[in-house]
Protein backbone atom coordinates (compact mmCIF):
# COMPACT_ATOMS: atom_id res chain seq x y z
CA UNK A 1 0.00 0.00 0.00
CA UNK A 2 1.41 3.45 -0.86
CA UNK A 3 2.77 5.56 1.98
CA UNK A 4 0.14 7.88 3.45
CA UNK A 5 -2.81 5.72 2.42
CA UNK A 6 -5.14 3.98 4.84
CA UNK A 7 -6.44 0.48 4.59
CA UNK A 8 -10.03 0.24 3.35
CA UNK A 9 -12.46 0.83 6.24
CA UNK A 10 -9.78 2.37 8.48
CA UNK A 11 -10.68 5.51 10.35
CA UNK A 12 -8.66 8.67 10.01
CA UNK A 13 -6.32 9.54 12.83
CA UNK A 14 -7.78 11.96 15.36
CA UNK A 15 -6.95 15.64 14.93
CA UNK A 16 -4.13 17.11 16.96
CA UNK A 17 -5.03 17.85 20.59
CA UNK A 18 -4.43 21.58 20.15
CA UNK A 19 -7.25 21.73 17.58
CA UNK A 20 -9.69 20.09 20.00
CA UNK A 21 -11.65 22.78 21.85
CA UNK A 22 -12.40 20.26 24.61
CA UNK A 23 -8.71 19.57 25.17
CA UNK A 24 -7.38 20.52 28.61
CA UNK A 25 -5.40 23.77 28.82
CA UNK A 26 -1.65 23.62 28.37
CA UNK A 27 0.28 22.62 31.48
CA UNK A 28 2.32 25.31 33.13
CA UNK A 29 6.07 24.80 33.26
CA UNK A 30 6.27 27.07 36.30
CA UNK A 31 5.10 27.37 39.86
CA UNK A 32 2.07 29.56 40.51
CA UNK A 33 -0.80 27.57 39.04
CA UNK A 34 -3.37 29.06 41.41
CA UNK A 35 -5.04 32.46 41.55
CA UNK A 36 -3.30 35.65 42.70
CA UNK A 37 -2.63 35.10 46.42
CA UNK A 38 -4.23 37.49 48.89
CA UNK A 39 -1.30 37.57 51.34
CA UNK A 40 1.90 39.50 50.49
CA UNK A 41 4.32 36.73 51.46
CA UNK A 42 2.43 34.23 49.29
CA UNK A 43 2.41 36.75 46.42
CA UNK A 44 6.19 37.07 46.72
CA UNK A 45 6.63 33.29 46.78
CA UNK A 46 4.45 32.83 43.69
CA UNK A 47 6.33 35.48 41.72
CA UNK A 48 9.76 34.27 42.89
CA UNK A 49 8.85 30.70 41.96
CA UNK A 50 7.75 31.63 38.44
CA UNK A 51 10.78 33.87 37.91
CA UNK A 52 13.02 31.00 39.10
CA UNK A 53 11.30 28.51 36.80
CA UNK A 54 11.78 30.89 33.86
CA UNK A 55 15.50 31.16 34.71
CA UNK A 56 15.36 34.82 35.77
CA UNK A 57 15.81 34.40 39.54
CA UNK A 58 18.27 32.22 41.40
CA UNK A 59 17.54 33.34 44.93
CA UNK A 60 15.54 31.64 47.64
CA UNK A 61 11.77 31.40 47.23
CA UNK A 62 10.73 32.68 50.65
CA UNK A 63 8.28 35.47 49.87
CA UNK A 64 10.24 38.56 50.87
CA UNK A 65 10.67 40.77 47.82
CA UNK A 66 14.13 42.30 48.08
CA UNK A 67 16.67 43.73 45.62
CA UNK A 68 17.37 40.39 43.90
CA UNK A 69 13.68 39.71 43.30
CA UNK A 70 13.08 43.28 42.10
CA UNK A 71 15.99 42.98 39.64
CA UNK A 72 14.52 39.73 38.29
CA UNK A 73 11.09 41.37 37.97
CA UNK A 74 12.62 44.29 36.04
CA UNK A 75 14.48 41.83 33.78
CA UNK A 76 11.22 40.02 33.01
CA UNK A 77 9.34 43.28 32.47
CA UNK A 78 12.02 44.52 30.05
CA UNK A 79 11.87 41.26 28.06
CA UNK A 80 8.05 41.51 27.93
CA UNK A 81 8.08 45.14 26.79
CA UNK A 82 6.47 46.32 30.02
CA UNK A 83 7.43 49.30 32.20
CA UNK A 84 10.32 48.25 34.45
CA UNK A 85 8.82 48.95 37.87
CA UNK A 86 10.31 46.01 39.76
CA UNK A 87 7.05 45.82 41.70
CA UNK A 88 5.26 42.53 42.34
CA UNK A 89 1.59 42.94 41.44
CA UNK A 90 -1.28 41.02 39.91
CA UNK A 91 -0.49 42.25 36.39
CA UNK A 92 3.05 40.88 36.72
CA UNK A 93 1.66 37.62 38.14
CA UNK A 94 -0.70 37.22 35.16
CA UNK A 95 2.10 38.02 32.67
CA UNK A 96 4.40 35.47 34.30
CA UNK A 97 1.68 32.80 34.21
CA UNK A 98 1.09 33.44 30.49
CA UNK A 99 4.81 33.14 29.81
CA UNK A 100 4.92 29.90 31.78
CA UNK A 101 2.32 28.20 29.57
CA UNK A 102 3.63 29.62 26.30
CA UNK A 103 5.39 27.04 24.10
Residues counted in the chain: 103
Evaluate whether 57 touches 51 at the Cβ level (below 8 Å).
Answer: yes
Half-sphere exposure for 12 (CA within 13 Å, toward CB):
3
| pLDDT tens track for 76-102 | 999 999 999 999 999 999 999 999 877
| pLDDT tens track for 41-59 | 999 999 999 999 999 999 9
CATH class given for the domain over 36-101:
mainly alpha
CA–CA dist 44, 58 (Å, integer): 14
The structural domains of the chain, with segments of one domain joined by +, span 36-101
Amino acid sequence: MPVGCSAPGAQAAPAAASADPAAPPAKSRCAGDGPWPGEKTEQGKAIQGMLRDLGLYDGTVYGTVGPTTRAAIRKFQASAGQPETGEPDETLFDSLRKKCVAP
